[in-house]
Chain A
């Protein structure tokens, strides 16, 4: 096999793992959009908030310690214990459930039957609120997140590919794990939505609110459920990105990477989010590999958006989205 092909393969493999991460973020959007028609601008901030909470619980940080210190002149920072990762994750899930409940109770319950644009504005407000709240609760400094997944070059992949092709691929262990966990999560979500009562109810609500009510489905329960699911997806995304590059406020910007994925895959399709994520992940790596040297590199920053633009021109409903039919 020629060297170029091998390098391209390596780039594509790395693109796949990156793509799974994009898919994960996009999935959070799709879940909420499908069930309630809300485009949740705060999905990225939810990932940040979940990661902050996870680090905070894990390291035994005292919530609101800066606020408390400022008011009472104390010097509190840590409880002095640290939680095992799994316990901290469970605690964070509980926090995300509470968050979902609060969001339904205090925001969207009051906005039933409003225009989509108003719901969208509400999520923008929610995003800013949550960003500030996370800051206040856990502090603004960059935090290191260690969930026990090894980082650095994967020797297993290196060895295996060396034996096959005579050339060892470089792949990050953390990214491999992230891809695996994301894949399990996605499979779990698909099983949940296709084969359980709650999943069937979720699909029903996504399709027709009135009809769902008439067969005895509580809309509020379903909404709290999807926000919880989106919170869990956000937690996994925040955990993986946080472990890779530290938990910091720029984490909320990963939401921007999900937009082209959504445009590619369609806003209402779970498989679409997955395939869209993979296409963008692989596409941007390959494009950079082949075209990068010709046009001065750094194409990864804009390739996804350009691809999204092309899609908007020729297939605005995305690959798997519901077809837009205009009846006259």
Chain B
């Protein structure tokens, strides 16, 4: 792997602390019938870093993210999370281990308000039983207040106070993406997975989103794994980058290392249709 960085973490140029290995993917292979979406890929994710997965269309980036979040189960390979081999899990079980995600084609609860959407992110932090909740009694009341407080913090942080009560269906695309991020953040995840957080945004929205991603990573020390098309954005945001092409890993390292990698240049320039 990377021998340029010490095993037990380091401090980045801008003063953020990167820890040891949070998650390690070992020889992951994923097939759909006869099609192999991911071929024998290994890489690791460290605590506190922004890890990007890039590659041309159909390279298997989203499949990789779906493997991490449990939406797909790989046929081969293993995932080591927090030091233990993760057994086969369903997506909701993975979510409960502290892995939150957003989707490429926004998956929000369209019928609910922004606030309600974000509150669903707190579902796994609610312990009161159903009778206490229905009667608004004891633990339930304290919990609901705590959760509301956390949610309000996230709302402030992402600057969406003005749309708190708005039904999500009425929001423009850029704000929907932000609400989806807010819902994922409300879960206080250990690892946050972002599937093309900036796809389809205009320049201004992209800049906002970049700022939020960096702030989240900086202030909450959240480990972030993101998929992005826009090379410029990726290079600015991330600490380390995995490059995929046709389901294989063709590069792994700091943005600078990757930028100068022969195979990466070939994949990107060779595949684009100019």
Residues in A lying within 8 Å of B, measured CB to CB: 188, 191-192, 195-198, 200-201, 203-204, 206-208, 210-219, 322
Contacts and interface: CB of A to CB of B under 8 A. Distances in A.
B134 A203 contact: no
Contact of B120 (A188, A196, A201): A201
B130 A216 contact: no
By Cβ-Cβ distance, the 4 closest A-B pairs, closest first, are A216-B95, A211-B107, A207-B109, A213-B91
Interface of B: 69, 71, 90-93, 95-96, 100-101, 103, 107-112, 116, 119-121, 123-124, 126, 128, 130, 133-134, 136, 183-184, 187
Contacts of B108: 208, 211
Contact of A191 (B101, B103, B111, B134): B134
Contacts of B121: 215
A195 B148 CA distance: 13
Contacts of B183: 215
A203 B91 contact: no
B107 A208 contact: yes
Contacts of B126: 197
A215 B100 contact: yes
Nearest to B116: A200
B136 to A, nearest CB: 7
B103 A195 contact: no
B179 to A, nearest CB: 11
Contacts of A197: 123, 126, 128, 130, 133
A203 B111 contact: yes
A215 B110 contact: no
A207 B106 CA distance: 13
A211 B69 CA distance: 12
A214 B100 contact: yes
A64 B126 CA distance: 44
A207 B110 CA distance: 7
A188 B108 CA distance: 27
Given A197-B133, A200-B120, A204-B120, A214 B91 contact: yes
Nearest to B106: A211
Contacts of A216: 92-93, 95-96, 123-124, 187
